[in-house]
Structure 1
């Protein structure tokens, strides 16, 4: 009985620490990382993984994070998201990139891959324990387990994983633009969502509906949010041109944001990248 109580207390303490410290991992013994594996056509690379937040949650309490994505507990994300260290987050330009992750070194590992999206940044030194570190939502970490053994796997806390970059595929959805709160005639901030293929962005530009208008680049504000601070009242409707980071593909959403847009509103375009890298 004493052993059972001690084990339960340790488990609760672990979950409690993870919940109170978003995107922070734990210091365990040094892990060994194997070389890449190409057995199934993907380039599987060794990295490390931890988890945070509620065991079956989406990570941070606000269901968002360092990329600015909203409601990641709901479709199409379904809580399958992760923080990434510097090599993955890329100063915010890695936001929206998609990976498959799997584990094989724990008795609860299924060895089957899970699809995840980078939606946050792993900020602390422990996230540098390997060249590539994923601090996953509890749901994501558990998804690598044999069905029914998710909690057993989460008790590992930190482990070696294999990961592979894969194209994003938001089936039945087009690229969407969330006009951020605070946008006004002199300031426009956009969150770009549901980008197939690369998933990541290197450049976002806006075209006003005025004679002789040219494409104006937005500045990356933070994460996947891009902003335009204007020296004149902006005239819509607005077309948006986006360029991906990984392969440099370009897509134009014509007149996607109306002149009478409402801040904190999503405007879905009629265009989408192909789901390939």
Structure 2
């Protein structure tokens, strides 16, 4: 039985390293913890990389190898990824000497940027090579990565993006009848429970300039942290966006997307969760 378990674990590690995170749904309760919980950790991609070869992932975030993500990223299984609602949430992770002799026990923070539904354990972090190695003692990163799979501990923590505001990326393919928006860099919960949009129209009060309609329309979750609006009319900017996080807090970015918006362009707001 023991040798069979080892063989199964080894097979999962090999598949994870070959293909990265894999989508298969398993129902587990969501996590909202403030104390340390037990989990399994694996890693994928390059030893010093951010996980996916394209530095992206199932949440839709781009360039996760660069600041502020800085390759400290992870796939999460269902209680962590939450079918995309967990995208952007932050966790402290650590492994102890009892888990592996190379473990430092020093907590490191990772961000959920991808999905992983391998039935390895109740909670499973498939980390980037960088994040997995960061749990090691100085100079023993490769030794820890060589383990492939280890026991670890984790807890949910607030996200912090010093100097950054909530940012919106208009995805490729967006047009006046279809808008897809990626939400990034939310302090606090880090994730998005709902995104609403408000169009503009010519306003007499503002001398014929475009003014908000005052009507919020809920967008639909497309995938990951990307939300979409399928309209039956040409949508008119500037657009205001209202973000609701997992705790139910809301934030309004007024007319953050201008009238002359373009696909594949990022628009930074002047607001941030506190």
Specify whether residues 18 and 88 from structure 1 end up closer, same or farther in structure 2 by C-alpha distance, changes over 3 A only: closer
Instruction: Give, in whole Å, the separation in 1 of the partners of 2:14 and 2:40.
Output: 21
Q: How does 1:123-162 map to 2 (within 5 A)?
A: 123=117, 127-162=118-153
1:243 aligned residue: 244
1:75 aligns with 2:67: yes
8 Å contact kept, 1:15–1:54: no
2:116 aligned residue: 122
Shift of 1:187: 0.6
1:226 aligned residue: 227
Instruction: Give, in whole Å, the separation in 1 of the partners of 2:176 and 2:80.
Output: 35
Structure 1 unaligned regions, length at least 5: 1-13, 25-37
Q: How does 1:1-277 map to 2 (within 5 A)?
A: 18-23=16-21, 42-104=34-96, 105-123=99-117, 127-210=118-201, 212-245=213-246, 247-274=247-274
Shift of 1:128: 2.2
Instruction: Give, in whole Å, the separation in 2 of the partners of 1:58 and 1:231.
Output: 39
> Which stretch of structure 1 is more off in the superposition, 92-101 or 205-214?
205-214
Shift of 1:129: 2.2
1:7 aligned residue: none
Report the aligned-residue RMSD.
Answer: 1.8
Residue 128 of structure 1 aligns to a residue whose secondary structure is: coil
Shift of 1:15: 9.3
Shift of 1:19: 4.2
TM-score (normalizing by structure 2): 0.85
8 Å contact kept, 2:13–2:148: no
